Amino acid sequence: MADDEAPTHMNPYEMALVQLRHVARRMKLDPNVHEVLKTPMRSLEVYLPVRMDNGTIRVFTGFRVQHSMARGPAKGGVRFHQNVTEDEVKALAMWMTWKCAIVGIPYGGAKGGVIVDPRELTHTELERLARRYFSEIGPIIGPQVDIPAPDVNTNAQTMAWFMDTYSMNVGHAVPSSVTGKPIDIGGSEGREKATSRGITYCIREAAKVTGLDLDGATVAIQGFGNVGGNCAPLLYEMGCTIVAVSDVNGAIHDPDGFDVHKLTKHVRSTGTVMGFPGAKEIQNADLLELDVDVLVPAALEGVIHKDNAPNLRCKILAEGANGPTTPQADKILRDKGVYLIPDVLCNAGGVTVSYFEWVQGLNSFFWTEDEVNERLDRIMTKAFHQVHDIWEREKDKDEDGLTTRQAAYMLAVKRVADAIKKRGIFP
């Protein structure tokens, strides 16, 4: 299928392959390396019988995909969601490879998922599901092989179950087997807000290169989970005005801006952004098209596509979610002059601090939150400007132009390709 004939809502893996193909063509990437990078090195599908609280057995389906280990052990989160597919997990694993390469940490990409609506399970049922899943993927998991982390609908508690399951199976505590754990069992200070903090560092640097004054800049955030919910107060503290937020129940808007601390308390007490006093309810889709300085899509993939991209009015698009923008929308946004901070750069703060947690666990030596944030700022800022410099240098070299995503991919793919070439193909 030609790129211009692609459907509005692309299969995530098809989208990841299109993105790679665009950059491979521009870079004149060795076709043999391209062939290796198109396909994950390992994809495991597992079936998970779990005893429900009422005594019945339900069988769930889970996946773990390892895209590349050319630069080090595989790294990537595990999501629990009813719409998980193998192709989605394959795409996310590939994006993790690029993400780790862009920020220069010694990992390859992986991802995991279980097809389940966690809202339908009790706490004890979720624990049994988590432990069974981790036991089933155990043969390809380990601190020097593949280190999982939280993702959609998983959290520090899930990682505690994962770590305990792995530790019980090997007979001793292995804190470095997962990241995103509670502090009490080897987690890192600063990990919970790391993805959001990395996004704010990228927005800060994007504002510098575009001339946007963040003091009073208007922001809309799609998704108010761990990423969006932590991003809002961080941007608020930087002087931004948060005018719209959303969650699975809907979206709210106040052109004068929210008191984000009150909004956060409201969400904690009610479980949703809806019903916040003084806010106007709007459609989730309408939030994306508000006239704001900064838009942060922090929900799921594919929400910005060829049909709604022409209607976006933001100046900076900071991708908090993985894969929120299709390749066709990338071109439209570039032509509109929207400065897009691609997901593989923008939300890499989480995996960066996961790397810090892994290093701390291996050495049994832990850093303060200030040390973690300082190191994260340094890595994210360096990576942002490396990507931006490639974009500035290459964007006008041909009639097709260059998107900032392609600039990020050029940096990432080159680093992974160099590792593959230097290591060679076994045997």
Please identify every residue annotated as catalytic.
111
d(CA 414, CA 24) in angstroms, rounded, equals 10
Number of H helices, E strands in the chain: 14, 12
CB atoms within 10 A of CB 422: 8
Contact assessment for residue 294 and residue 175, using Cβ atoms and an 8 Å cutoff:
no
Contact assessment for residue 246 and residue 225, using Cβ atoms and an 8 Å cutoff:
no
**3-state DSSP: the chain helix, strand, coil percent, rounded to 5?**
50, 15, 35
Q: Residue 317 — left, alpha, or beta (φ > 0 → left; ψ -120 to 50 → alpha)?
A: beta
d(CA 45, CA 266) in angstroms, rounded, equals 40
Q: Could you say which DSSP state residue 258 is in?
A: -
CA 252, distance to chain mean position in Å, is: 24
Query: What residues pair up with 45 in beta bridges, in sequence order?
Result: 63
CA 228, distance to chain mean position in Å, is: 12
Rg of the chain over Cα atoms, rounded to whole angstroms, equals 21
CB atoms within 10 A of CB 381: 15
- Supply 195's token pair: 């993805």
- Supply 224's token pair: 């108010």
d(CA 135, CA 91) in angstroms, rounded, equals 24
Cβ neighbours of residue 99 closer than 8 Å, sequence gap 6 or more? 109, 343, 344, 345, 347, 348, 351, 412
Closest to 73 (Cα-Cα) out of 145, 9, 130, 131: 145
